[in-house]
Amino acid sequence: MVETATPPGPVTVVELEAGRVWQVRLGGSRGNVIDAALTEALAQVAARAAATPTVQALLLEGEGRHFSFGASVQEHLPDQVAAMLARFHELARALVDCGVPLLAAVRGQCLGGGLEVVLLCHRVFAADDARLGQPEIALGVFAPLASLLLPERVGRPAAEDLLLSGRSVTAAEALAIGLVDERADDPTAAALDWARRHLLAHSASSTRHAVRAARVSLSARLRGELAELERLYLDELMATHDAKEGLRAFLDKREPAWSHQ
């Protein structure tokens, strides 16, 4: 096991299985908030993996008890949100296009932007204490990337339940609806075992072509439909009173006063 982090950055990479599996741990803050620094660091990991032909899996997990509390709410405010969405959606495209199978080991809270990162993964392993959700609606906004990815993962009815209610689901319910693929006491060990049994015996080069082939339509949607979702968010949603009120109320630690406009 070789640690190849770039301290004091927000992402740590540990090379496992003779460097064929990279364990990528999200950190940098309490709750592993996905802010500009973490987004950029994770995009750099994706670029490095794409340029390292022997890497056969990226295993994403959070430092400590939780996967991630989600994206930075501060960066959702009107003066920062356009840049935030551009960075985050470029990260999504980088992860999809790197050609490496993506695995997620989820413990504790996996919310908002954290779940959107997980939705990009090919296989998701969750501990019993995992709680997964898209709570953006409670802040008066919506999740552009999850609006595209959740229906692919769990089907439209279950996706719309999560997107419109903002509720979190347990690991058991997440497994039942297909949001996760396996429950495990140790999701990291389960993910590594799956990689050993199902990935590492194959050609890394051929696997990358298989990943690209399986995700041709997803890659195209991330360049087409996601642009329309960004426009809806930035030009229409952020022009409303309630979007700004919900974000400010969260930062002020108070209940929002909705005007329904």
pLDDT at 130: 98
Residues 102-119, mean pLDDT to the nearest whole number: 98
pLDDT at 5: 45
Query: Domain map of the chain by residue range?
Result: 2-187
2 has pLDDT over 90:
no
pLDDT at 92: 97
Distances from the Cα of 68 to the Cαs of 112, 113, 256, in angstroms?
8, 8, 24
The structure's pTM equals: 0.95
Query: Tokens standing for 168?
Result: 């979190």
pLDDT at 66: 97
Active-site residue list? 116, 136
pLDDT at 134: 98
What pairing do the DSSP bridges indicate for beta strands 21-26 and 102-106?
unpaired
Could you tell me the pLDDT band of residue 8, with boundaries at 50, 70 and 90? low
Minimal CA–CA distance to 195: which of 61, 70, 34, 16?
Answer: 16
Which residues contact residue 245 at a Cβ distance below 8 angstroms, ignoring those fewer than 6 apart? 140, 256, 257, 258, 259
For 175-198, the pLDDT digits (tens) are 999 999 999 999 999 999 999 999
Residues 223-228, mean pLDDT to the nearest whole number: 94
Q: Which CATH class is domain 2-187?
A: alpha beta
- Range 110-113, long-range pairs (CB < 8 A, 24+ positions): 110/62, 110/66, 110/67, 110/68, 111/68, 111/69, 111/70, 111/135, 111/168, 112/34, 112/68, 112/69, 112/70, 112/71, 112/136, 112/143, 113/34, 113/68, 113/70, 113/71, 113/88, 113/143, 113/145
